[in-house]
Amino acid sequence: MNTKTTYSEQELVALLQQRSDHSFSYLYDNYSGALLGVIGAIVSDQEIARDVLQEVFVNIWRKIGSYDPTKGRLFTWMMNVARNAAIDKVRSRGYQDSLKNQAIPDNADNSSMAGSATLPQVADTGLKKVLTKLKEDHRILIDMSYFQGYTHDEISKILDIPLGTVKTRIRSALTHLRTMIK
């Protein structure tokens, strides 16, 4: 029906607000892979990652009215919706329980479960792969703050590092990260 295949971010926001079949299809076709990549860097289990992806689309659909273009690009907003949903899932009791339950079959049959190997929990793809190039103390801080969602205060307590140092090191790690991404 609609022959237009690409939209500017502004057009896409207007399209999403129409809530049509077409706007869903466009959003899904263009962004589901990238968002699943963001989720997959946090949630190791592929099936759970797909459940999270569904939650993310539902959330985007619901909250598109609260997206403010002056505060950032639409993709940045969607990426953060995906990251928050993934972290919420990882921190949920149900996910923690499922990891314990899965530990036995994963160990028992490693060959058929290659895609969801228990160690390392998260596949080294995307941003996570970039992370491996960082210095160890930087890597841990980005992992804990970005991929596991700990606050600076929590990291300070867990690692027994002063809060100011946590902040400075994270900022420093992020500037390194940028040079690697570019």
Partner 1 sequence: MNVQDYISSGIVESYVLGLASPEEQLDFERMCGQYPEVLQARTDFELAMEQQAMQNAIAPPSALKQQIKDAVLPAEAKIIPIDTLAPVIKANWFKYAAAACAVLLAGSLYWNISQFNRNRKLQETYDGLVKDYDSNALRLAEVEDEIEMMKLNPNVKMAAMKGKEISPESYATVYWDSTSKDVYLLVNNLPKPASDKQYQLWALLDGKPIDVGMIDNDYFIDQKRLLLRMKNVSHAQGFAITLEDKGGSPTPRGDMYTLGNL
Assess 118 for contact with partner 1 (CB under 8 A). Answer: no
Ranges within 49-78 binding partner 1 (CB under 8 A): 49-50, 53-54, 57-58, 61-62, 65, 70-73, 75-76
Cα separation, 18 vs 151, in Å, equals 36
Residue 22 binds to partner 1 (criterion: CB under 8 A) = no
Q: Does 145 bind partner 1 (CB under 8 A)?
A: yes
Q: How far is the CB of 14 from partner 1 (least distance, A)?
A: 13
CA 11 vs CA 64, 70, 81: distances in Å:
13, 15, 20
Is 125 a binding residue for partner 1 by CB under 8 A? The answer is yes
Please state the closest distance from residue 104 (CB atom) to partner 1, in A: 26
Comparison of 107 and 133: residue with beta carbon closer to partner 1 = 133
Binding string, 76-115, against partner 1, x = CB under 8 A?
x--xx--xx-------------------------------
